[in-house]
Structure 1
């Protein structure tokens, strides 16, 4: 579909520093203001940018809420998000103002799945604890009872959200001998289930009570916020490990801490946090939690691919076409 309302040289504001080649390319293609200092924009700076640009390129660290969107200038018609998740953008408010929102789906799938698999291995095998022991200089050498963990082969993996990333994790997990269980809004086609050797659970509660490791791969939106709350954590057996490389707000962090401290969960692998970059100090004190700084998608290849998708979306919109990655709702 072609729109006659073209914008041949849009004014673009990018809120965070991208790779030099991406920033140079955007400056060559558009009237672009890059944030080469990579200092997070204040709310006032973000509001000023949105009042005087055609395209905003935010990241997950920018909270584009209804108030900011309401105060945006009439020329702002595209929010081209750098990343797949859009829970930091008020989609309803954007639609009400006639602002198109795009994202960059798919390009970070393999990177995030790799990191998830690393966490699935790291927590039961106590890799982070072992690394700290060696660095501390207190390791006394091998012993039959030293640093005993648990094997993952033969265990049941429960995947919450079986989209692109969930399926990529399932493929990796099968190679390590895990059996695959999943809960999703919609059941996968039978052919895909067979390819993944995956068992569908229409009840999330029932799946959580039946598996040994839980990994989360659903977007954060009003329906999924605190999806894994105190009640659902209590359904998991004490030997279960919880992995979250999706969004921190999906897990009730306080309830998770309480369960870990009480020994009602065996451990956790976390790459995302409820109040990033702040982390509950109680989690920092727990040896059975592997903690990462939201780096699941942090590869040079992935970052470059995300930037190219942003550029593609802007160019299509500027030429009067519907951008290929337009977000139509909060589930991606």
Structure 2
């Protein structure tokens, strides 16, 4: 029997929900490209429940324990004395989410002598050292497409929120104010703007499709060019690189996976190539944008705004400069963990586990590393190497760091 170690984020501060705002979720059978939703043999949860927190357990406990497996769930993931570090030594399978990632570094792989598989309950396995996984013959899988549309919707919301100066205007009302001039002084329509996406995979393409009705000019860059008929349908302009694209754009949205080729892509030099007053939205991975360069560009006014929900590391230390920089719209990493998305990635995680235990092939779409190399979606989306360096800084979130004044 196997030991499954699962890392999930904490329950709400006021307790695990006993009721929810809505009674059901819309029924969806397929994703836009025709791929079917996860198809486990059964589920032991009600779609629409909070499954991604510790008490939600991804709806897996009954299934795993009925099979005689040991199931350990914790949110304590960082540092040498964490529950995760102690339990990892004899774990066969590790499950975690991008929103509260258990960073699987080479050092942790070396300690996990029984480890056979690492599963991302969601999309994006950059919190796992893919090189170390390949070298040790460990399978890495994720639930591809489960929250791509969730993230795309979040991107559009953040673009509009920045351009229309929504959050400061909301804060004005909360404070009892009615300062229309102050709120309007940073508010713009996006109609007619040039909007570009770095990567046009499932999320990037969905963003383009959702923005087209706003009558903006669309741009993209990707190492895999879209088919000509899709470019024509969207009216989108292709650029060979991000450096070529960003000078043309009023808004840039990052929708690329994190790997050595994209790490620190938006550094001081790349941001300097952007138009003065441009907006940058990053719901991909925090490490793609340079922490200090973003903060400096907002303070100088070169960027008009920065929004996103991804940080590095996660959770972000309490003195992280993105918490206090001006003109930002940052949130915790929530874009891909809506209750709608949780139902899909919980079901997909179970499908992966069923395949593993029954000796059946895991869907190619779900595979990132298998047989000592990048495989399936991993071979298409990632490059060899490791992007977990510096992740030990996540432990600082628990430290009582004062948040510096602006």
* TM-score, normalised with respect to structure 1: 0.89
The 3 A distance-change label for structure 1 pair 143 and 93 is: closer
Distance in 2 between residues matched to 1:302 and 1:50, nearest whole Å: 27
TM superposition shift of 1:256: 1.1
Q: Where in structure 1 are there 5+ consecutive unaligned residues?
A: 1-8
Q: Which moved more, 1:57-66 or 1:243-252?
A: 57-66
Specify the SS of the correspondent of 1:52: coil
> How many equivalent residue pairs?
321
Match of 2:217 in 1: 179
Alignment of 1:140-151 (within 5 A): 140=179, 142=180, 146-151=184-189
Q: Cα distance 1:197–1:279, how it changes in 2: closer, same or farther (>3 A)?
A: farther
Does 2:87 match 1:87? no
C-alpha distance in 2, partners of 1:183/1:305?
29
- Counting only pairs closer than 5 Å after superposition, residues 84-163 of structure 1 correspond to structure 2 as 84-140=123-179, 142=180, 146-163=184-201
**Could you tell me whether the CA contact under 8 Å between 1:55 and 1:77 is conserved in 2?**
yes
1:3 aligns with none
| Residue-by-residue CA offset, 1:144-167 (whole Å, 9 max, x unaligned) | 984551100111111001110000
Deviation of 1:28 (Å)? 4.3
Is 1:235 the equivalent of 2:235? Answer: no
- Write the mapping of 1:206-217 to structure 2, written as runs, cut at 5 A: 206-217=244-255
Query: Aligned pair in 2 of structure 1 residues 279, 193: CA closer, same or farther (>3 Å)?
Result: farther
> RMSD of the TM alignment (CA)?
2.2
Q: Which of 178, 197, 200 is residue 238 of structure 2 equivalent to?
A: 200
Specify every segment of 5 or more residues in structure 2 that has no aligned partner in the other structure, as ranges.
9-53, 383-406
Structure 1 residue matching 2:303: 3-state secondary structure: coil
Query: Aligned residue for 1:274?
Result: 312
Correspondent of 1:246 among 268, 284, 300:
284
Go from structure 1 to structure 2 and tell me whether the alpha carbon gap of 1:144 and 1:296 turns closer, same or farther (over 3 Å shift).
closer
Mapped contact 2:310–2:333 kept (Cα < 8 A): yes
Cα contact 1:78–1:101 (8 A) shared by 2: yes
Relative to 1, partners in 2 of residues 1:21 and 1:58: Cα closer, same or farther, differing over 3 Å? Answer: closer
Q: Distance in 2 between matches of 1:214 and 1:69?
A: 36
Quick check: 1:10–1:318 contact (8 Å CA) kept in 2? no
Q: Secondary structure at the match of 1:266?
A: strand
Which 10-residue stretch deviates more, 251-260 or 268-277? 268-277
- Other structure's SS at 2:243 match: helix
2:294 counterpart residue number: 256
Residue 281 to residue 52, structure 1, CA distance change in 2 (3 Å): closer
Counterpart selection for 2:111 from 34, 47, 71: 71
Alpha-carbon shift at residue 98 of structure 1 (Å):
1.3
The alignment's TM-score, normalised by the length of structure 2, stands at: 0.74
Write out per-residue CA displacement over residues 62-90 of structure 1, whole angstroms, 9 at most, x where no aligned residue. 110111112212x3211122221111111
Deviation track 1:25-78 (CA, whole Å, cap 9, x = no partner) reads 44345414232x6444654533443322322212332110111112212x3211
Per-residue deviation at 1:106? 0.2
